[in-house]
Structure 1
C-alpha cells in the first residue's frame, strides 16, 4: 500500500474479512506483492526501493513462510535498477523484470523529433536466472524505434526530464518462449519473439494488427496495465483498461478489466467480458486483473480486479457478475489518490506462514492485548498467568482464559484480584489446539483498588471545597476556573495547579 495518506508504506496482506495478516515498513515503498512458486516452494515476492514519479529503482525480494528474505533479484547491467512494474517467476525458475533507463536516441525517423536532445525513458525487459543472477534474455524498446508500430507515443516528460516514450508495465512469458508485453504510452499490447526480439504482432494502438469484430471493444483500450495470457490454446488474454490518465484527455467513462479472444488464423480480436466497479471507478494509473482457480463446488473461475490508483478491489464471476467489492480508503477520495495499491492479488489459501518472531503482548489498563504479525495458522489465544507462592514468584504458568482469534489483535480482561498473578504470557494455538508459540512475558500492573478509593474520597472532598468556595467567594472561583486552576486529568481526578496565562 502506498500514497500520500500512508504514513508507513510497505507490503500488506489482508484476509477475506479485510483484517490485517501481515505488514512491514522495513522495506519502505513496495509494489507487486504476491505469492509465487519457485523450486517446489511458495514465496512471498515483491519489489521495494525508491519510488519515482512513474517508476521505481530497487530490487526484488523473495520471502519464505517465516518472512525471511531467501533470495533477492537485481537488474543486470551497469547503472540499471529493477523497476516496480513487473516481477514474474516463470516455469523455468527465471524472473521477468522491467527496467526504466534514461537513454539518448535518434528520433529523426519518428514523429517525435521534437523531443529535446532525443532523451527518452527506455523500456527494457530482462529475464534473469534467479539462482545465479545471470541474464537470460534482454529486449530494449529503443532498439525498435524505426518500427512503425512505435511511431506514436502518448507519453509525457518525467519530472521535466526525459520523455517517457514506452512505459512498459507488464511482461508475461508463454509456453513458446515468447513475451506478451503491455506498453502503456502506446496503448498497445505487443508479442515479442523470445529468440530474435522481433515484434510478431500488436493489439491496439495506432498500428493494430487485428480486425476488431466487437465494435472497438477489443482494441480501443487506453493507458492499460497487466496484460496476461488466460488461455494460449483459445487465444484469450486479460488486461486492465484504465481508459484515462492524468494530464491527458480521454473518452472513457470508467476503468474496467477486460477479456479478449484473439483468432490468429483470421487476425480478429473479440471482446468477451468486461469487469466494472460498483463505484464506476476511473483509475488514472495502475490496476490488475487476476483469474482465480475454479472453485470445487461451483466450477466457476472467478476474476479478481485491483483498481490501482483507486483504493478498491473486486471479485467477479467469470462472465462479469460482481460478487463483492471492498475499498480501503473512502471512495469519495479516489480521485485524489491518497491511498493506492499498484496491483491487488488474491493469494491462494495454501499460503501458510509462521513468522520467525513470536507473538507480541502488552498490558494497557485492565486488558492484555496480543497479536502476531504475519501468522496465518492461529485459531486460539490462551492467556496464562504465573502463580504467586507466598512472596515468591514461581515459573509455573496456568491457563487463565481462552479466546477464539477473531481479528489481527485480541484482548483479554485481567483477572480480579490482580495480585493472583505477577506476570502473564499468551500462547498461540492452531485449529487443533496445538501450541505454536508463546508471546513475550508482561508484568501484572499494580493493584489499583486503593488508589481508586482515595481518588473517590479526594474527588468528594474537592467537590465539597468548590461548593463552599462558590458560596463564600463566587467571584474568585469563577476566575480560577476560567484560568484552569481546577483541572481533572483522566488518570486519577487529581487537582492540577495550572499557571494562568499571561495577560
Structure 2
C-alpha cells in the first residue's frame, strides 16, 4: 500500500509543511495553516494528536507578527522554532540597489517560542545582523524588498542556530546567546575554503539546511540551483551533503543526490536523512522536489531506490501541483480518529468504505441486517441483528465490496473496521441500497406495467360506456320532441 493516502483535511484552509514531530515523548502531526501570500504566509502552527484533535497551537510573538509557512520545528527543549516575515519600513539609500528611498523590506525573523506558555525564548532579525548584505542579494517583485528569505532553522546542542537565507544563497550560523553571526557559507561569504572545486559552496536558492552530524561538521541542504524569473545555468536541482572542517576552515561536498530525470525545482524542496533500520544498512536519503511534484529515496551512497510523481512530469514547470517539503514519517505514527467513523457508501452494486486517518485497519467486514417493514400503524417493525457477510483485506485508502449477488430485500448494511488481530475498531454508518435486487425489481416493473394496462383499459371502457349513454340520451330526446311536434299539428 506504499504511496496510499492516509489522512487529508480541508478544515484548516491553506496548509503547508506537514510532518510528524515529538513533543514530551509523544508524536504529533504538525503543520502551518493560514493565508498564503506570494512567497510567504501569515498564520499559526497546529499540533494534532493521534486522534486528530487539535491539542495545541503556536503563534508568533509580537504585535503585527504572524507565523510564516516556511518553518516549524519542535526542539528537544519543548520549544518551537518558527519563521516570521515582517514588512518593515527602512531607508534603502545606503544600498547599491536602485530602490525607492525610504522603502520597505521583508525582514527575515526567526523566533524560538515556549510551546506550553507561548512565551518568546529568543528572536533574531536579519536586518540587525546582516543588513550590509542588502546590496548583494534579494528579490523585488512589485512589492517590498525581500533580500533574506529565511526558509529553515535548525538548533544544535550548543544552543546555536543554523539558518538558510535563500535570496542570499547563504547559510548562517547564529550564536544563541547574543544573535551574533559566527560564520556563513555560500553566497559572497568566504569563511570556508571550498576544496571541492566550488561544489560545496556554489548552491543557489537553497532550502532545508540541517545538521546531519554536529561532531563531524556535516550538514545537508536542498540546492534548487534555479528560481522563478531568475537566470541560472543549473541543469538540475539536487540534495547535497557537505562537511565543514572548523579547524582548517574548509568545506567539502561529500555526496549529491539528483533525479535521473534531472528535475529542476524553481522553489521549495527538502532533504531528509532517514535513520538506519533493520532493512536499511545505511542511512537512506529522502528528497522532496518542492515545486516539481515528485519525491525520491536514495541509499547513502547515492543509488536511487524509488521515485514517485504525484503529478505529470511534463507539468512540473507550471507548478500546478507541488509540496513545500516531502517528509517520510516514522513507522511509529499510529492514529485512530476520535470525531468520525469509517464512511460507507453504495454506488451501483458496489459498497465502498474508507476511514480517513486510521492507520491500524487491516480488514473490512461487510455486515447485513434485515428489517421487516410495518404493515399497519400498530405493527412494530422486526429488526434482526447484523450478521457477517464477507471479509476483505484493506487495499489502499478506499476498498469496496461487490454486493450485486446479495438479496437487498429489506436489507441494510454497515462495515466493521478490524485490526490485524481481527478485533473490531469501529463501525461505519448504516447504508441502504437505492433499489431492490434485480428479481424484485423486474417483478415490480411487470406489476407496474400490468396495473398501467388495466388502468388504461378501464379508462377506455369507461369512455365507450359514457359515449353510448350520451348517444342514446340524444336519440331518445329527439324522438320525444318529434312526437310532440306531430301531436300539436294533428
TM-score by shorter chain over 0.5: yes
Please state if 1:52 is matched with 2:41. Answer: no
Residue 203 of structure 2 corresponds to residue 209 of structure 1: no
* 3-state secondary structure, aligned to 1:142: helix
* 2:369 match: 386
Give the Å deviation of 1:62: 0.2
Q: Aligned partners of 1:213, 1:145: CA distance in 2, in Å?
A: 26
Query: Does residue 1:73 correspond to 2:50, yes or no?
Result: no
Residue 386 of structure 2: SS of its match in structure 1? Answer: strand
Cα deviations across residues 119-150 of structure 1 (Å, max 9, x unaligned)?
A: 11000010000000000000001112444xx2
CA contact (8 A) 2:364 2:417 kept: yes
For residues 274-332 of structure 1, give each alpha carbon's deviation from its aligned partner in whole angstroms, at most 9, with x where no partner exists: 00012210000000000001121442110000000000000000121110000000000
**What is the Cα deviation at residue 394 of structure 1?**
1.6
What is aligned with 2:166?
184
Aligned CA distance change for structure 1 residues 369 and 207 (closer, same or farther; 3 Å):
same
**Within-5 A mapping of 1:197-276:** 197-276=179-258
Question: C-alpha separation between the residues in 2 aligned to 1:256 and 1:28?
Answer: 31
Runs of 4+ in 1 over 6 A off after TM superposition: 453-458
Residue 445 of structure 1: how far off its partner (Å): 3.4
Distance in 2, Cα, partners of 1:115 & 1:269: 38
Corresponding residue number in structure 1 for 2:393: 404
CA distance in 1, matches of 2:434, 2:131: 75
Tell me if 1:361 matches 2:350: no
Are residues 143 and 115 of structure 1, via their aligned partners in 2, closer, same or farther at CA, if it must alter by over 3 Å?
Answer: farther
Partners of 1:180 and 1:191 within 8 A in 2: yes
Give the SS at the match of 1:20: coil
What does 1:448-487 correspond to in 2, within 5 Å? 448-449=437-438, 450-452=440-442
Pick the aligned partner of 1:161 from 143, 154, 174. 143
Cα offsets for 1:68-126 (capped at 9, x unmatched):
10000000011111000000000000000000011112334432363442311000010
Matched, 1:98 2:80: no
Q: Does 1:33 align with 2:18?
A: yes
1:296 aligns with 2:268: no
Q: Which residue in the other structure is 2:295 paired with? A: 313
C-alpha distance in 2 between matches for 1:151 and 1:107 = 9
Are 1:443 and 2:426 matched, yes or no? Answer: no
Residues 229-276 of structure 1, C-alpha deviations (whole Å, 9 max, x = no match): 000000000000000001111121100000000000010000000000
Structure 2 residue aligned with 1:479: none
After TM superposition, the structure 1 stretch with the greater mean CA deviation from structure 2, 137-146 or 331-340, is 137-146
Matched, 1:112 2:86: no
SS in 1 for 2:127: helix
Residues 44/153 of structure 1: CA separation in 2 closer, same or farther (3 Å cut): farther
Asked if residue 352 in structure 1 is aligned to residue 334 in structure 2, the reply is yes
Q: Which residue of 1 aligns with 2:152?
A: 170
Structure 1 Cα separation of the partners of residues 286 and 443 of structure 2: 58
Matched, 1:324 2:313: no
1:196 pairs with 164, 178, 198, which one? 178
The alpha-carbon distance between structure 1 residues 390 and 188, as it changes in their structure 2 partners (threshold 3 A), is closer
1:325-365 Cα distance to aligned partner (Å, 9 max, x none)? 00000000001111000000000001000011100011112
Q: Is the 8 A contact 1:153 1:166 kept in 2?
A: no
Alignment check: 8 A CA contact 1:99 1:123 kept: yes
> 1:151 offset after TM fit, Å?
4.4
Aligned to 1:489: none
Structure-1 separation of matches of 2:312 and 2:272: 24
**Aligned twin of 2:322:** 340
Offset at residue 366 of structure 1 (A): 1.5
Measure the CA separation in 2 of the matches of 1:452 and 1:335.
55
Q: Is the 1:226–1:240 contact (alpha carbons within 8 Å) kept by the matching residues of 2? A: yes
C-alpha distance in 2 between matches for 1:435 and 1:110: 67
Q: Which ranges of structure 1 fall in alignment gaps of 5 or more residues? A: 1-15, 459-503
Q: Which residue of 2 aligns with 1:23?
A: 8
RMSD: 2.0
**Partner of residue 121 from structure 1, selected from 97, 106, 109:** 106
Query: How far, CA to CA, are the matches of 1:382 and 1:443 in structure 2?
Result: 16
Q: Distance in 2 between matches of 1:227 and 1:86?
A: 11
Aligned residues: 441
The alpha-carbon distance between structure 1 residues 240 and 288, as it changes in their structure 2 partners (threshold 3 A), is same
